[in-house]
Amino acid sequence: MDGQDGGAPSSPPRPSAGRPRRWAAIGLLLALLGLVAVLGVLLGTDGQRDAGPSPRVTPLAGSLVPESEIAGTWSGEGSLARCAGFDEGCPGVRSVTLTVDCSRHPCAVTPFDSRFGAPPLDVQDGRYRAAGPLPAEVAPTCDGVPTSSALWRVELSVRDGRLVGSYAESTVQGFECGATGVAWDVVLDHR
């Protein structure tokens, strides 16, 4: 008999199940946080390395101004901020012209000419945003055909009497072709 006092045989003490599970949970949490950090870096850089330092104009929240102050034609140059999915690369500098029409509310914006449409200019957090379709003549092509998903976007703030922010063009990935995206940081003056 194992037990001398007449009771049930004694069994060896069992290790506490709480401590190993706690360490496993902490390890899993740390691994998950590491994965999120790596994905954040990759998405933040579009998985590319910068070719060199370039000045960046980030669209910080600016001041909202009366519509009469943003109405009219704005023009300037943009410097390349992002280029992805193009075999031949992207132009480092782009001239940009926007026309803001505030004859109706909300204001509408047209980049370059009427082929780009005139979507409403959305105002949020001190920024002006708009998006519209790229005309077939300037849209990236896939197997020689212009992509139907091509869009342009602007995100701008008013700073020191200028429109500052970004102008971008992008396409979504299709069955035959990959996605593309290009953006320029712009500083536009009222003409």
Helix segments in 45-84, DSSP class H: 67-70
- Residue-level pLDDT at 19: 52
Short-list 35, 74, 54, CA closest to 183: 54
User: In terms of residues, how long is the chain?
Assistant: 191
Contact 82, 182 (CB under 8 A): yes
Short-list 82, 83, 100, 91, CA closest to 191: 100
- Residue-level pLDDT at 174: 76
- Write the CA distances from 136 to 16, 92, 116, integer angstroms: 68, 22, 10
Contact 163, 188 (CB under 8 A): yes
- Residue-level pLDDT at 172: 86
- Residue-level pLDDT at 76: 97
For the chain, residues with pLDDT lower than 50 are 1-5, 7-18, 39, 41, 45-60
- Residue-level pLDDT at 20: 56
